[in-house]
Amino acid sequence: MSTPEVRPAPVSVPQLGRMKAEGRRISMLTCYDATFAFAMDRAGVDTVLVGDSLGMVVQGHDSTLPVTVDHIVYHSAAVARGLSRALLVADMPFLSYATPGRALDAARRLMAEGGAAMVKLEGAGPMLVVIAALAARDVPVCAHLGLTPQSVMKLGGFRVQGREAAAAQRLREDARAVQQAGAALLVLECVPRTLAAQITTELEIPVIGIGAGAGCDGQVLVMHDLLGLRGRHRTPRFVKDFLVGADGVEAAFAAYVAAVREGRFPAEEHGFD
Ligand code: KIV
């Protein structure tokens, strides 16, 4: 007689807050299809992000701007079918959340059709009313600050943010503001490690870093980077190839989860001053 498989309970939004409070680091990876999602789930990845990095690593564009709500819904639904434990976060594409009304429509599609448990959007300032509108309708929101790839045309490239004192101060204020508006999670991308650690300490909500040092509550990487896949784009220095020395893709995901949990990734060389 075979014993029934015991499935771990799905990760919930409140659980992420408890993980921060208990000092347990959160692992996040981007994912775009069901098979990789299944492997990530088995490897113990806590949160899976259908990022609009899809535009670059899957569709072959030079930026995330061409990604649409339809694209994210399609990939999110596929990823959802591969998951049983990890929390699914879906990115809101460029200008799909320019007004609270548009954001609510997009979030409805990402959650109802795409199976997401949380939506992610970039920026503070004019986005605060959008975050508040979503949160007021019980849509869990992940904010994204620092290097915000949807602003690449304005920023003039993919660059570290918050190095000057005034920019660092603005980032700290923006982080507090997105929390105040109702965000339940924050991704900080390409921010000096000391600033990211300071923001992490100042906020009650968990902070997930990418190129933001080891002082965050968790880490996220683009799946292709973690697997050492080189496309047309330059590999950022905060990336580590976890396939090196691992016995296959699922083992590479498990090695990443263990390294994040134990505080071994990111190392000093993956961060910025
Ligand atoms: O789109 C994406 O993959 C992201 C991560 C880099 C955080 O936003």
Residue 18 within a domain? yes
Residue 3 within a domain? no
Distance between terminal CA atoms of the chain?
58
C-alpha–C-alpha distance, residues 253 and 73, integer Å: 24
pLDDT of residue 231: 83
Confidence of residue 64 (pLDDT cuts 50, 70, 90): very high
In the predicted model, is pLDDT for residue 106 greater than 70? yes
- Clarify whether 189 is annotated catalytic: yes
Residue 221 within a domain? yes
Of 28, 91, 110, the one to substitute when testing ligand 1's pocket (max ligand atoms within 8 A of C-beta) is 91
User: Active site residue: 22, 164, 189, 269, which one?
Assistant: 189
Contacts of 166 (CB under 8 A, 6+ apart): none
Does residue 222 line the site of ligand 1, with CB under 6 A?
yes
In the predicted model, is pLDDT for residue 161 greater than 80? yes
In the predicted model, is pLDDT for residue 84 greater than 70? yes
Residue 7 within a domain? no
Residue 174 within a domain? yes
pLDDT of residue 215: 97
The 10s digit of each residue's pLDDT in 195-239 is 999 999 999 999 999 999 999 999 999 999 999 998 888 888 899
pTM of the model: 0.97
For 153-166, what is the mean pLDDT?
93
CB 51 within 8 A of CB 223: no
Contacts of 177 (CB under 8 A, 6+ apart): 124, 128
pLDDT of residue 248: 98
Q: How far is the CA of 4 from the centre of ligand 1 (A)?
A: 36
For 165-193, what is the mean pLDDT?
98
C-alpha–C-alpha distance, residues 254 and 92, integer Å: 28
Q: Cα torsion for 89, 94, 99, 104, to the nearest 10°? A: -30
Q: What range defines the domain where residue 95 resides?
A: 13-270
